[in-house]
C-alpha cells in the first residue's frame, strides 16, 4: 500500500514537472513571436501593425526633464534632414513609462511638439514591463524626496526595428542627429 502511495506521488510530481516544462516551452515560443498591443491616441495599436515602416523605439516619460526632450529633438531633426519620401517611411515611437501620470492625450501633445510623425504609445505597467523586456529596455519607479514625488529610472537606448519587424540595432542616448540619420540610411 505504501509503495502505491509513493508511486502515486511520483506520478503526480512527474506530471507536474512535465506540465511546468510545457508551460515554459510555450512561453518561450510565445515570446519569440511576441506582439504587443498598446494604446495610441487613436485607440489600440499592435506593434506588428507598424511593419512596413522603420520603427525607432524610445522609452521615456513626460516629466523627464532632459534626456527625453533631447533625444526626441534629435529624432525630429533627423527626420527633417531626410528627403520627405524617406522620412515618411520612418516611424519614431515614444513608449511611455509613466502611465500613472501621463494620459495618452497629454502624450500626443508632447510628441507633436517635437514632430507629428512621433507616435506616443502607453499601456499598463505589466504590459510595459513585457514590451521593454522584449526590446532590451528597462525601467523602475523610484520615490524621491522631491516635489516630483517619484521619477522613472529608465534605459535610454534608441531601438531601430527594420520594416520586417526585426530589431536591427540600437544607439545610445549620446547619438547625435547625424548618427540617427546615418543609422536610418543604413537600414532604408
Partner 1 sequence: MIALLFASTLLAQVTVSNSSIRLVPPVSQNSVGLMDIRNASKTDLRLVRVESDISKRVELHLMKKVDGYMTMRPVPHVELRKGQVTKLDGTYHVMFLGLKRPLKEYEKHPLTLVLSNGEKIQTEAQVLKHE
Q: Residue 185 phi/psi, 5° resolution?
A: -65, -30
Pairing of strands 54-60, 90-96: parallel
Taking a C-beta distance cutoff of 8 angstroms, is the pair 93, 109 a contact?
no
Residue 113 has which C-alpha cell?
Answer: 511638439
Least distance between partner 1 and beta carbon 12 (Å): 43
Least distance between partner 1 and beta carbon 186 (Å): 22
Residue 57: count other Cβ atoms within 10 Å of its Cβ. 24
Question: Does 145 help bind partner 1 (rule: CB under 8 A)?
Answer: yes
Residue 165 has which C-alpha cell?
Answer: 519587424
Question: Does 109 help bind partner 1 (rule: CB under 8 A)?
Answer: yes
Given the complex with partner 1, which of 88 and 100 has the nearer CB atom? 100
Rg for the chain, CA atoms, rounded:
21
Distance CA 29, CA 184 (A): 30
Least distance between partner 1 and beta carbon 177 (Å): 7
Comparing CA positions, the residue from 188, 161, 172 lying closest to residue 34 is 161
Comparing CA positions, the residue from 59, 86, 28, 50 lying closest to residue 170 is 59
Question: Does 150 help bind partner 1 (rule: CB under 8 A)?
Answer: no
106-110: long-range pairs with CB below 8 Å, 24+: 106/62, 107/41, 107/62, 108/41, 110/62
Question: Does 140 help bind partner 1 (rule: CB under 8 A)?
Answer: yes
Give the range of 13-21, 84-92, 127-135, 138-146 binding partner 1 by CB under 8 A.
138-146
Give the range of 20-28, 31-39, 90-98, 149-157 binding partner 1 by CB under 8 A.
149-157
Question: Does 115 help bind partner 1 (rule: CB under 8 A)?
Answer: no
| Single residue of 1, 43, 66, 83 touching partner 1 by CB under 8 A | 66
| Single residue of 173, 179, 187, 188 touching partner 1 by CB under 8 A | 173
Question: Does 132 help bind partner 1 (rule: CB under 8 A)?
Answer: no
Question: Does 153 help bind partner 1 (rule: CB under 8 A)?
Answer: yes
Return residues touching partner 1 (CB under 8 A).
62-67, 69-70, 73-74, 77, 106, 109-110, 112-114, 138-140, 142, 144-148, 151, 153-156, 173, 177
Amino acid at each position: 500500500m505504501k509503495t502505491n502511495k509513493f508511486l502515486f506521488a511520483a506520478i503526480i510530481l512527474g506530471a507536474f514537472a512535465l506540465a511546468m516544462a510545457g508551460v515554459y516551452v510555450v512561453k518561450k515560443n510565445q515570446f519569440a513571436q511576441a506582439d504587443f498591443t498598446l494604446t495610441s491616441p487613436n485607440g489600440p495599436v499592435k506593434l506588428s501593425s507598424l511593419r512596413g515602416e522603420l520603427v525607432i523605439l524610445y522609452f521615456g516619460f513626460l516629466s523627464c526633464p532632459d534626456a527625453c526632450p533631447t533625444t526626441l529633438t534629435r529624432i525630429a531633426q533627423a527626420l527633417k534632414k531626410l528627403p520627405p519620401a524617406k522620412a515618411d517611411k520612418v516611424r519614431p515611437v515614444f513608449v511611455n513609462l509613466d502611465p500613472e501620470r501621463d494620459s495618452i492625450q497629454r502624450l500626443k501633445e508632447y510628441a507633436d511638439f517635437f514632430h507629428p510623425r512621433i507616435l506616443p504609445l502607453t499601456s499598463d505597467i505589466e504590459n510595459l514591463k513585457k514590451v521593454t523586456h522584449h526590446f532590451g529596455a528597462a525601467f523602475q519607479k523610484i520615490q524621491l524626496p522631491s516635489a516630483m514625488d517619484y521619477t522613472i529610472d529608465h534605459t535610454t537606448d534608441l531601438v531601430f526595428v527594420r520594416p520586417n519587424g526585426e530589431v536591427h540595432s540600437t544607439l545610445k542616448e549620446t547619438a547625435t542627429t547625424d548618427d540617427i540619420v546615418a543609422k536610418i540610411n543604413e537600414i532604408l
